[in-house]
Structure 1
Amino acid sequence: MPPSFLPAAISSSLIASLLTMLVLFYVQHLNVHVRTTRCWALAYAFLVLRSACNLLAVTHAPLLVLAADMSMLAYVCFLWAGTRIFYGVTVHVMPVMLGFALAVMWLLMTFLTGATLFWRTLPVYSLAGCMLIATGLTFWRMKNDRHSLGYLALGALIFLKGVHLLDFPLLREYAGFASLGFAIGAFLDLAIGMLFMVAALLRQQEDAHRINENLLQEIQERQQVERMSKERNALFEKVFQMVPDVLAICREKDGCYLDVNRHWETVTGYSRDETLGRYSLEMNLWADPGKRPEMLAILARDGEVNNYETIYRHKLGHEYHVLISGTRFDAGSEPYIAYAMQDVTTLRQVEKLQVRAERELQEREKLLATVFQLVPDILTITRMGTGQYIDVNRNWEPMSGYTRDYVIGRTSNELNLWAKPEQRDELIARINRDGEVRDMQVSFRRRTGLVTQCRISGSKFEAGNEAYLLLSSRNIDSEIAAEATRLQVESLLRENEHKYSTLFQLSPIPLGLVDVKTDRIVEVNDVWLKEFGYARDEVVGQLTSALGFDDQLEKRKEFDLALLRDKKVDQMEIHLKPKDGARLIFVLSARLITMHNKRMCIFSLLNVTRQVEVEHEIREMTAQLEERVKSRTQNLQQANAELASAMASLRHTQDELVRAEKMAALGSLVAGVAHELNTPIGNSVTVASTLQDKTRELIQDISAGKLKRSTLDTYVDTASKGTELLMRTLGMARELIRSFKQVAVDQSSSHRRNFDLQTVLEELIVTMAPMYKNSPYSLLTDLAPGINMDSYPGPLGQIVTNFMTNALTHGFEHRASGEMRLSSHLQDNGSVQITFSDNGMGMNEHVRKRVFDPFFTTKLGQGGSGLGMNIVYNLVTGVLGGEIQLHSQPDEGTTFIMTLPLVPPQIANENNARDIEKEAGFEAGSAP
């Protein structure tokens, strides 16, 4: 074909694609398979773009060729996606987008690297052709019976389009072949697009036809249901009598039984006459009567109760577990309750259905219909003549996969239920011969095709001059699986026996097996043979006495008695001779087992000859060591006497240090209080002297007769202000002295008393204020009010004093400012938590570990004795009966948390209290 035909061929392809795209967009606008037609229309839109790029690329513009190839990829992707949507197959967008991106990257990389056009397009067009071939095969596989020829033609055209894309890279460089290729492509694109439109319209028509058929079928089924409802009374009356489980009906207002079926007496022991007119509590049916109100509450709340498990008591007195299902319903103007019961003690399934019925036929139908649905087995009612299903209960759909509406009016052959049709013929024959069938095992095929095993029981009955068949089915797949599991377990047991035999032979310890009855050796392992030097034929089948194992008769009697009494022997030492005659020492362990209905003894022998020899050598060495120990013990006793004398001297020194520290702390406290008292007392003296001078001047004016009203007013005003100031300053001094006296009394003794924690701590803070009042350090408090304690305020004050002294002396050392916090709060467990913290220099790990040790201080030789924190720990854990925790990090401050009981344990006696007080004397400034 001449090269001049190439633009014409590309133009024809462009026009065909454009027309097809417009038609598909119009079909989408008509709401004909919107998603499918939209994808196909977008595919043809990219095909139009590809044709346009190819038409412009005739002028040898390489970039347009690249754009045409990318448009071709998008065309293939949308065509493939639309086809999957058309057939309702899930479209995985991410893999498609990833493949599209990889193909585009391939085109860009090969274009930028200057690869030949053949190698640039061959992989991409091969991928696109394969996708179109797969799309064509999809239409072939998904064809239906009505329009198979059209779908086959559409699949064939798409397949040819894919083949055309495969040879396009090979022929595009030849103008003559390229023109022919574009012409063929235009024809294929137009034909495929038209068939796409026809396929979408046909599918829309099929959907409408299917909807009409479903509506018609539903109308027919409703008519059939109305026709069968007239026969429902007789059928359900028969069901009530044929149901193999217990049914009961009672009146809601008083719980009185109105009716029970024939299985009631079998399960409960009470006859029908004994039951009617009575209620369950009167008959003592509930083993736990408290369960009944709980079940009635669920029934009142939900209107029904399902599988409520409880324990019933039989008439004879024994108890059994039941699952109760029930529903509340109204019949006439009175509410009733229908129960179905299962005895799950043995069979784990429903064996009781309790039903009550009203005398009117309409109410009985409603009650029986409720019972029919509550039965846990699968119940079906069919006509004997035609085999059509009249009704199925609610358990039918989970077993078969078919809905109740779909099944009614159809036969089992129409549903293809029987995996083995000969079983249906056998069932009908047994029903016609005996009138019933019991526990017949059959194979049913579910709607999904899965075959399940069931056990069927049923009987034939007549109602309305017509014979019906009532069948009860139960799935036994679990029972069959259990039997298969049992066989598998037996196989595993055989395998384990083989494994244990292998382990017996591979054991590194000599093992043997002896028949207890005959005392003959049944088996020994290879290690045993190696240990004793025998061959297997010389041992197996021989008596133990024949091998010289009975030389120690007392040991043998002891072994036999222990084995028969305890079924085992552990670590018995015996002496045996191997074949070479050497005497060896063994530790014997044995177990009595049953194997192949014979009593066997499996035993192990551990050679401990060398171990015994070593133990003998060790005993000799121990005797020598004991002589050395006696000599050194005498030296040690002398050293201990010297050490005890040193410890007594050290304790005396410690007591003197504690007493000195206590007096130093009291002196510091007195000096601070004296300094604080100096200011208010000085102010009081100044006011008093001023009042004295003013009074003297007033007396002189009165004596001279020069008293004026203004002078008198001035004197009165001055006296009033002076006395007010005098009372305020003296009140401050009095409060300070009172607090000091209380704190001094508390801290100078360990007497127990009732006190308010907030008041004691505030009094202590007043006395301690001189220590930091004129310093850059401050104390913040958060003290909970109303915490009453029956404890020891003196030790508590001493503890807080030590905390504040340590913070001021050590925590804020070399620091321009600092802040202390004291808080308390009551806990739920009858204790109080007191927290003291500062933002000082903190402690490292070494100091934290030893802070409560006696005589440990970081100010050794600088005024610290190292007893402060040790005394704090003893006071908290001893006198106050509490706990103390320390949290500190370098440069992050220190926090002490005390948890104290409101009422600490009583001290045993006064001497013990004085000893604790002596050990916990004031130790201000002695922190680490």
Structure 2
Amino acid sequence: MNNKDSNKTEQMELFSKLVSQIPMLIYVLDKHWNFKLSEGAALSKIGLKPGEVVGKSARELYKDNTNIISSLDQAYKGIDTSSILKLDDLYLEHYIAPYYNKNNEIDGVVGAAIDVTNRLKSEDELQKTRELQNAILESVPGMIYMYNDLGELLFWNKWHETMTGYNKEELYLKKFTDWFENDEQSLAAINQGLQDMKTKGFGETEAYLECKDKTKIPLYFTARLFKLDGKDYFVGMGVDISNRVAAENKLKVLNHTLEEKVIERTQELSDANIELSEVNQELTAMNEEMQAMNEELSNSNEKMIKMQNFLVESEKMASLGGLVAGVAHEINTPIGIGMTASTHLQDMVNDLLELNKERPLTSEDIIPYLEDIDKATHMIYKNLNRAATLIKSFKQLSVDQSAEPKRLFDLCEYTNEVLLSLSPSMKKTKIKINTICKEPVMINGYPGSLAQVITNLVMNSLKHGYLAEQKGIITIEINRKDPMIEIVYKDDGVGIDNDIIDKIFEPFFTTNRSNGGTGLGLSIIYSIITQQYKGSIKCDSEKGKGVKFTIYIKEDII
């Protein structure tokens, strides 16, 4: 061997030693596809040792791996290739290139591969995280946004476009204050919120946002300040509070009307008590009883005022506007009857007093009046008792839905209380509700949540399940199925199409959006049953054959 060949051998050995320490694999094939070199620390990951395949044919070794054969074939044609190879659970980033002899002819190929398994897994996890974050942002029932230090919009969710009516091109770099430029009061509130954000790091306010079609939506806005690459940005969300604002306005009018009626009725009762106090000794006992009843009526009115005040606060948290209407409607009838009977009683007393001025009263004069007075007081007592019962029932239900304490309660009895609160809505329809409970079913949980489930199911049937003036029957059956409790809700309405039944629990899915449907009713039910009560809910329906919801919940929520 001459010196020149010896130097080449030494250089090749040195190169092999160096390559064997690198966390990758390098190989060289001659023009007949035979390995001339196979080195690198990464060989062990595919079950080979350095130099183990030298002299062997790559075509024979990888005949079952079409990707490798195809890439090598391209290299022998003078084309550089790169690809990701999957060998069991291992991913290799593979590079192949031809090498040429002195005559510029392809004399073989060289290849290198590096293990990118961890990198690809990290990229996959990052992609999953981004998809999850995007899904969360798109599921929020409100606007999500990010503005730069110039107040220009950089990022938003789909709900932002849906609510405002602007497309992506129109929203990009739109100024935050532009939404309120035609409303000085809203603009002032927004500027105050931004000022709080700059001084405290967080700001919040309520204002009316002007949409593309010039409609204005009341929203609750938040803004959180943060820095990115040395620049100021802020993120936040805008939540539609239209229902709350409408309910508050309605309650203000209702409270004002109720206060006037209470003052008027209280004054009338006070005048009646003064006149009744002047009757003769035989009517004194009856008059004292009337005073007690009048005091009870006054207390009932005070309770109604307190309930109204309570409902104002509760509406802010749980949207109990419907319950307020139910209270006013249901209590109005017994109180009206009581006031009518009280007025009639006052007239009888005045007649008796006038007769007493004309001549001394006899038993024949007094007895008919006493009989009528007895009937009137009985009517007043009966209707006051009815009003007190309604107030107690509505008060318990409203407390459950706002404070939401965990307590032990009879699900059957509580269901009937919830249905009682829905009676004003039911009276406007020809739908009847039957409840079937063979025995008391005690549950330790959150009654307000179950009240929302029952209310949403009933209102969903009334809005979507029946046509106008259509008769129907809703059945709610409650049974103990150890270790769970079964609730079966059925109606005999129009039913649900098979092609949409799998979507009914999705947030914002509705077939009645044009009439104000939000698509949240059944989604809220699904969340309460599956998350809070660790149970399940299933819907069975056919078009024209009604709907059936089968619910299973735990009897004791931990």
TM-score (norm 2): 0.49
Which structure would you say has the larger RCO, counting Cα contacts within 8 Å and 6 or more residues apart?
2
- From the CA coordinates, give the structure whose radius of gyration is larger: 1
